[in-house]
A = this chain, B = another copy of it.
Amino acid sequence: MRVTIRQVAAAAGVSTATVSRVLAGTQAVSPELAERVRQTAASLGYRPNVLAQGLARGRSGVVGVLVPNLANPYFNDTIKALMHSAERDGYRVIVADSDERRENELPLGESLLRWSDGLVLVASRAAPTALRRLVGAHKPVVAVNHKPKPEIDEFVHISVNAYTPMRELCRHLVREGHRRIVYLSGPRTSWQSQERWRAVRSARRWGASVSSVPCGGTIEEGYAAAEGALGEEPSAVMAFNDLAAFGFLSRCGELGLRVPEDLSLTGFDDIPFAQFTSPPLTTVRSPLADVGVAAWQAMRRLLDGERRVLGMMLPSEMVIRSSTAPPRSMLGGSEPDKTTPTT
Protein backbone atom coordinates (compact mmCIF):
# COMPACT_ATOMS: atom_id res chain seq x y z
CA MET A 1 0.00 0.00 0.00
CA ARG A 2 2.51 2.58 1.11
CA VAL A 3 5.46 3.08 -1.21
CA THR A 4 8.65 1.57 0.18
CA ILE A 5 12.29 2.01 -0.61
CA ARG A 6 12.26 -1.22 -2.64
CA GLN A 7 9.63 0.11 -4.99
CA VAL A 8 11.65 3.27 -5.51
CA ALA A 9 14.75 1.17 -6.12
CA ALA A 10 12.95 -1.03 -8.63
CA ALA A 11 11.43 1.94 -10.46
CA ALA A 12 14.78 3.70 -10.66
CA GLY A 13 16.62 0.52 -11.60
CA VAL A 14 19.02 0.65 -8.66
CA SER A 15 19.47 -1.13 -5.36
CA THR A 16 17.83 -0.10 -2.14
CA ALA A 17 21.25 0.72 -0.78
CA THR A 18 21.66 3.37 -3.43
CA VAL A 19 18.28 4.91 -2.74
CA SER A 20 19.07 5.05 0.94
CA ARG A 21 22.43 6.64 0.25
CA VAL A 22 20.98 9.24 -2.05
CA LEU A 23 18.16 10.28 0.25
CA ALA A 24 20.23 10.29 3.42
CA GLY A 25 23.12 11.98 1.61
CA THR A 26 25.55 9.91 3.64
CA GLN A 27 27.74 8.63 0.83
CA ALA A 28 28.79 9.70 -2.62
CA VAL A 29 26.59 8.56 -5.50
CA SER A 30 27.11 9.59 -9.11
CA PRO A 31 25.17 12.75 -9.92
CA GLU A 32 23.08 11.23 -12.71
CA LEU A 33 22.01 8.29 -10.61
CA ALA A 34 21.29 10.49 -7.64
CA GLU A 35 19.14 12.73 -9.73
CA ARG A 36 17.24 9.80 -11.21
CA VAL A 37 16.61 8.38 -7.74
CA ARG A 38 15.39 11.70 -6.44
CA GLN A 39 13.05 12.04 -9.40
CA THR A 40 11.51 8.62 -8.98
CA ALA A 41 11.21 9.03 -5.24
CA ALA A 42 9.42 12.32 -5.72
CA SER A 43 7.15 11.03 -8.47
CA LEU A 44 6.14 8.04 -6.39
CA GLY A 45 5.64 10.26 -3.36
CA TYR A 46 8.05 8.20 -1.31
CA ARG A 47 8.32 8.92 2.41
CA PRO A 48 10.69 6.89 4.54
CA ASN A 49 9.05 4.95 7.33
CA VAL A 50 10.26 6.64 10.49
CA LEU A 51 9.97 3.49 12.57
CA ALA A 52 12.13 1.46 10.22
CA GLN A 53 14.58 4.33 10.06
CA GLY A 54 14.69 4.60 13.79
CA LEU A 55 15.19 0.89 14.23
CA ALA A 56 18.00 0.72 11.72
CA ARG A 57 19.76 3.85 12.88
CA GLY A 58 19.29 3.17 16.55
CA ARG A 59 17.83 6.64 17.05
CA SER A 60 14.19 7.52 16.97
CA GLY A 61 14.39 11.26 16.35
CA VAL A 62 12.03 11.87 19.25
CA VAL A 63 12.67 13.53 22.58
CA GLY A 64 10.47 13.28 25.62
CA VAL A 65 9.43 16.16 27.83
CA LEU A 66 7.98 15.65 31.27
CA VAL A 67 6.16 18.52 32.94
CA PRO A 68 4.33 18.69 36.26
CA ASN A 69 1.23 20.28 34.81
CA LEU A 70 0.51 21.08 31.21
CA ALA A 71 -2.32 23.39 32.20
CA ASN A 72 0.07 25.85 33.84
CA PRO A 73 0.72 28.63 31.33
CA TYR A 74 4.15 28.86 32.78
CA PHE A 75 5.18 25.65 31.08
CA ASN A 76 3.49 26.36 27.80
CA ASP A 77 5.92 28.93 26.53
CA THR A 78 8.87 26.82 27.53
CA ILE A 79 7.52 23.71 25.86
CA LYS A 80 6.47 25.63 22.81
CA ALA A 81 9.92 27.08 22.31
CA LEU A 82 11.54 23.73 22.93
CA MET A 83 9.17 22.04 20.52
CA HIS A 84 9.79 24.50 17.74
CA SER A 85 13.53 24.35 18.18
CA ALA A 86 13.46 20.58 18.08
CA GLU A 87 11.23 20.66 15.02
CA ARG A 88 13.71 22.79 13.16
CA ASP A 89 16.31 20.09 13.77
CA GLY A 90 14.01 17.37 12.54
CA TYR A 91 13.02 16.06 15.95
CA ARG A 92 9.57 15.44 17.31
CA VAL A 93 8.56 15.95 20.92
CA ILE A 94 6.38 13.72 23.05
CA VAL A 95 4.99 15.22 26.21
CA ALA A 96 3.82 13.67 29.44
CA ASP A 97 2.22 15.38 32.39
CA SER A 98 2.81 14.10 35.90
CA ASP A 99 -0.19 15.96 37.32
CA GLU A 100 2.03 17.42 40.04
CA ARG A 101 2.43 13.98 41.57
CA ARG A 102 6.03 13.05 42.10
CA GLU A 103 5.34 9.33 42.13
CA ASN A 104 4.19 9.61 38.53
CA GLU A 105 7.50 10.95 37.35
CA LEU A 106 9.48 7.75 37.27
CA PRO A 107 7.03 5.58 35.32
CA LEU A 108 6.23 8.40 32.92
CA GLY A 109 9.88 9.21 32.43
CA GLU A 110 10.70 5.59 31.74
CA SER A 111 7.84 5.35 29.30
CA LEU A 112 9.03 8.46 27.49
CA LEU A 113 12.56 7.11 27.32
CA ARG A 114 11.41 4.00 25.54
CA TRP A 115 10.24 6.14 22.67
CA SER A 116 12.82 8.80 22.69
CA ASP A 117 16.49 9.52 22.35
CA GLY A 118 16.55 11.81 25.36
CA LEU A 119 14.49 13.29 28.14
CA VAL A 120 13.86 16.83 29.32
CA LEU A 121 12.61 17.05 32.88
CA VAL A 122 10.90 20.35 33.54
CA ALA A 123 10.67 21.42 37.17
CA SER A 124 10.97 17.86 38.32
CA ARG A 125 9.95 17.08 41.87
CA ALA A 126 11.22 13.51 41.66
CA ALA A 127 13.27 11.88 44.36
CA PRO A 128 17.00 11.29 43.78
CA THR A 129 16.52 7.53 43.48
CA ALA A 130 13.98 8.04 40.71
CA LEU A 131 16.30 10.42 38.92
CA ARG A 132 19.12 7.97 39.18
CA ARG A 133 17.05 5.34 37.46
CA LEU A 134 16.14 7.68 34.64
CA VAL A 135 19.75 8.60 34.13
CA GLY A 136 20.53 4.89 34.19
CA ALA A 137 18.95 4.43 30.79
CA HIS A 138 22.11 5.98 29.37
CA LYS A 139 20.26 8.49 27.31
CA PRO A 140 20.78 12.23 27.62
CA VAL A 141 18.76 13.93 30.33
CA VAL A 142 18.34 17.68 30.66
CA ALA A 143 16.86 19.09 33.84
CA VAL A 144 15.10 22.42 33.73
CA ASN A 145 14.74 24.36 36.97
CA HIS A 146 15.92 21.53 39.09
CA LYS A 147 18.31 21.67 41.99
CA PRO A 148 21.78 20.69 40.79
CA LYS A 149 22.63 17.47 42.60
CA PRO A 150 26.32 16.83 43.07
CA GLU A 151 25.66 13.13 43.64
CA ILE A 152 23.93 12.62 40.30
CA ASP A 153 25.85 14.77 37.96
CA GLU A 154 24.89 12.98 34.82
CA PHE A 155 22.39 15.47 33.62
CA VAL A 156 22.69 18.99 32.37
CA HIS A 157 20.94 21.76 34.26
CA ILE A 158 19.15 24.68 32.69
CA SER A 159 17.80 26.95 35.36
CA VAL A 160 16.48 30.39 35.98
CA ASN A 161 18.21 32.45 38.61
CA ALA A 162 15.34 33.12 40.94
CA TYR A 163 17.37 34.19 43.91
CA THR A 164 18.81 37.44 42.63
CA PRO A 165 15.64 39.07 41.27
CA MET A 166 13.55 37.80 44.16
CA ARG A 167 15.95 39.38 46.57
CA GLU A 168 15.89 42.59 44.60
CA LEU A 169 12.12 42.53 44.80
CA CYS A 170 12.25 42.13 48.55
CA ARG A 171 14.56 45.04 48.82
CA HIS A 172 12.20 47.09 46.72
CA LEU A 173 9.36 46.27 49.09
CA VAL A 174 11.42 47.13 52.13
CA ARG A 175 12.47 50.42 50.61
CA GLU A 176 8.86 51.24 50.04
CA GLY A 177 8.31 50.75 53.74
CA HIS A 178 7.12 47.18 54.11
CA ARG A 179 8.23 45.54 57.31
CA ARG A 180 6.03 42.48 57.48
CA ILE A 181 6.24 40.15 54.50
CA VAL A 182 4.62 36.78 54.01
CA TYR A 183 5.84 34.30 51.41
CA LEU A 184 3.30 31.89 49.92
CA SER A 185 5.49 28.88 49.34
CA GLY A 186 5.25 26.60 46.30
CA PRO A 187 5.22 22.83 46.03
CA ARG A 188 7.28 21.39 48.87
CA THR A 189 9.74 19.50 46.71
CA SER A 190 10.22 22.33 44.21
CA TRP A 191 13.76 23.58 44.15
CA GLN A 192 12.64 26.89 42.71
CA SER A 193 10.36 27.47 45.66
CA GLN A 194 13.24 26.87 48.02
CA GLU A 195 15.37 29.35 46.12
CA ARG A 196 12.67 31.98 46.23
CA TRP A 197 12.11 31.51 49.93
CA ARG A 198 15.83 31.73 50.52
CA ALA A 199 15.74 35.10 48.79
CA VAL A 200 12.78 36.30 50.82
CA ARG A 201 14.50 35.39 54.04
CA SER A 202 17.31 37.69 53.08
CA ALA A 203 14.93 40.59 53.65
CA ARG A 204 15.53 40.08 57.34
CA ARG A 205 18.82 41.81 56.96
CA TRP A 206 16.95 44.93 55.88
CA GLY A 207 14.97 44.79 59.06
CA ALA A 208 11.78 43.17 57.85
CA SER A 209 10.05 40.29 59.57
CA VAL A 210 9.25 37.53 57.12
CA SER A 211 7.39 34.27 57.40
CA SER A 212 6.32 31.51 55.07
CA VAL A 213 2.84 30.08 54.62
CA PRO A 214 2.33 26.77 52.79
CA CYS A 215 0.46 27.34 49.57
CA GLY A 216 1.33 25.79 46.18
CA GLY A 217 1.56 26.80 42.58
CA THR A 218 -2.03 26.89 41.40
CA ILE A 219 -4.77 29.48 41.40
CA GLU A 220 -6.88 27.36 43.70
CA GLU A 221 -4.09 27.01 46.22
CA GLY A 222 -3.41 30.73 46.21
CA TYR A 223 -7.07 31.34 46.81
CA ALA A 224 -7.21 28.83 49.62
CA ALA A 225 -4.07 30.09 51.32
CA ALA A 226 -5.25 33.68 51.47
CA GLU A 227 -6.96 33.74 54.83
CA GLY A 228 -4.15 31.95 56.58
CA ALA A 229 -1.62 34.36 55.14
CA LEU A 230 -3.70 37.39 56.06
CA GLY A 231 -3.78 36.15 59.63
CA GLU A 232 -0.11 37.06 59.82
CA GLU A 233 -1.10 40.66 59.14
CA PRO A 234 1.45 41.32 56.44
CA SER A 235 1.73 44.54 54.51
CA ALA A 236 3.11 42.64 51.54
CA VAL A 237 2.58 39.12 50.26
CA MET A 238 5.02 37.44 47.89
CA ALA A 239 3.57 34.45 46.11
CA PHE A 240 5.56 31.54 44.79
CA ASN A 241 4.26 32.23 41.29
CA ASP A 242 1.79 34.29 39.34
CA LEU A 243 -0.94 31.69 39.51
CA ALA A 244 -0.91 31.59 43.27
CA ALA A 245 -0.81 35.38 43.36
CA PHE A 246 -3.77 35.42 41.05
CA GLY A 247 -5.85 33.19 43.31
CA PHE A 248 -4.79 35.19 46.31
CA LEU A 249 -5.77 38.42 44.61
CA SER A 250 -9.17 37.07 43.81
CA ARG A 251 -9.78 36.09 47.42
CA CYS A 252 -8.66 39.52 48.59
CA GLY A 253 -11.28 41.05 46.35
CA GLU A 254 -13.93 38.93 48.00
CA LEU A 255 -12.71 39.88 51.45
CA GLY A 256 -12.88 43.56 50.61
CA LEU A 257 -9.13 44.09 50.71
CA ARG A 258 -7.75 46.36 48.06
CA VAL A 259 -4.44 45.77 46.31
CA PRO A 260 -2.14 47.65 46.53
CA GLU A 261 -3.85 50.14 48.89
CA ASP A 262 -4.39 47.70 51.73
CA LEU A 263 -1.81 45.14 50.76
CA SER A 264 1.01 44.74 48.26
CA LEU A 265 1.26 41.53 46.25
CA THR A 266 3.93 40.02 44.01
CA GLY A 267 4.11 36.96 41.76
CA PHE A 268 6.77 35.17 39.81
CA ASP A 269 7.13 34.12 36.16
CA ASP A 270 5.35 36.98 34.42
CA ILE A 271 2.96 34.71 32.59
CA PRO A 272 0.99 36.55 29.90
CA PHE A 273 -1.94 37.08 32.24
CA ALA A 274 0.09 38.91 34.83
CA GLN A 275 -0.07 42.25 33.11
CA PHE A 276 -3.79 41.98 32.54
CA THR A 277 -5.05 41.45 36.04
CA SER A 278 -6.37 44.39 37.95
CA PRO A 279 -4.18 45.69 39.25
CA PRO A 280 -1.42 44.46 36.93
CA LEU A 281 0.90 42.23 38.86
CA THR A 282 4.37 43.11 40.08
CA THR A 283 6.39 40.01 39.36
CA VAL A 284 9.64 38.57 38.05
CA ARG A 285 9.99 37.89 34.39
CA SER A 286 11.31 34.42 33.70
CA PRO A 287 12.78 34.02 30.25
CA LEU A 288 10.36 31.20 29.50
CA ALA A 289 11.06 30.78 25.83
CA ASP A 290 14.81 31.16 26.34
CA VAL A 291 14.74 28.32 28.80
CA GLY A 292 13.09 26.09 26.23
CA VAL A 293 15.59 27.02 23.56
CA ALA A 294 18.55 26.54 25.90
CA ALA A 295 17.21 23.17 27.00
CA TRP A 296 16.94 22.05 23.41
CA GLN A 297 20.41 23.25 22.53
CA ALA A 298 21.88 21.31 25.41
CA MET A 299 19.88 18.25 24.42
CA ARG A 300 20.95 18.60 20.83
CA ARG A 301 24.59 18.63 21.80
CA LEU A 302 24.20 15.63 24.04
CA LEU A 303 22.45 13.77 21.23
CA ASP A 304 25.31 14.64 18.93
CA GLY A 305 27.63 12.94 21.37
CA GLU A 306 29.35 15.97 22.82
CA ARG A 307 31.00 15.03 26.07
CA ARG A 308 30.96 17.99 28.38
CA VAL A 309 27.85 20.04 27.77
CA LEU A 310 27.57 22.90 30.18
CA GLY A 311 24.45 23.85 32.04
CA MET A 312 23.15 27.40 32.17
CA MET A 313 21.72 29.73 34.74
CA LEU A 314 19.52 32.25 32.96
CA PRO A 315 18.91 35.67 34.41
CA SER A 316 15.46 36.96 35.19
CA GLU A 317 14.36 40.43 36.14
CA MET A 318 11.93 42.12 38.43
CA VAL A 319 8.94 43.82 36.80
CA ILE A 320 7.28 46.50 38.88
CA ARG A 321 3.63 47.02 38.10
CA SER A 322 0.77 48.33 40.22
CA SER A 323 0.12 45.54 42.66
CA THR A 324 2.80 46.92 44.93
CA ALA A 325 2.90 50.32 46.63
CA PRO A 326 4.07 51.78 49.92
CA PRO A 327 1.98 50.48 52.82
CA ARG A 328 -0.83 52.66 54.05
CA SER A 329 1.08 53.42 57.21
CA MET A 330 3.71 55.21 55.15
CA LEU A 331 1.12 57.36 53.45
CA GLY A 332 -0.42 58.20 56.80
CA GLY A 333 2.99 59.51 57.83
CA SER A 334 3.10 57.55 61.10
CA GLU A 335 5.38 54.76 62.32
CA PRO A 336 6.72 52.68 59.47
CA ASP A 337 6.56 49.63 61.70
CA LYS A 338 2.88 49.35 62.48
CA THR A 339 1.08 47.88 59.48
CA THR A 340 -2.43 47.81 58.15
CA PRO A 341 -5.05 45.94 60.07
CA THR A 342 -7.01 43.34 58.16
CA THR A 343 -10.75 42.95 58.10
The minimal Cβ–Cβ distance linking A319 to chain B, given in whole angstroms, is 16
Bound state CA distance, A18 and B9, in angstroms?
35
- Name the segment of A74-82, A183-191, A305-313 touching the other chain: A74-82
Given that A50-B115, A60-B51, A62-B115 are contacting pairs, would A97 and B84 also be in contact in the complex, using a CB cutoff of 8 Å? yes
Cβ-based interface call for A247 (8 A) = yes
Cβ contact within 8 Å between B55 and A276: no
Copies of this chain in its oligomeric complex? 2
Bound state CA distance, A250 and B273, in angstroms?
10
Cβ-based interface call for A94 (8 A) = yes
The minimal Cβ–Cβ distance linking A20 to chain B, given in whole angstroms, is 16
Cβ contact within 8 Å between A70 and B80: yes
- 10 closest pairs, A vs B, by CB? A250-B276, A71-B76, A51-B54, A51-B55, A70-B80, A94-B94, A50-B114, A253-B278, A51-B51, A278-B278
Flag A46-67 by CB within 8 Å of B: 1 or 0 each: 0101111011000010100000
Bound state CA distance, A51 and B114, in angstroms?
9
Cβ-based interface call for A93 (8 A) = yes
Closest B residue to A95 by CB, please name it: B95
Cβ-based interface call for A227 (8 A) = no
User: With a CB–CB cut-off of 8 A, which chain B residues contact A92?
Assistant: 94, 96, 111-112, 115
The minimal Cβ–Cβ distance linking A120 to chain B, given in whole angstroms, is 14
Bound state CA distance, A87 and B70, in angstroms?
15
Cβ-based interface call for A246 (8 A) = yes
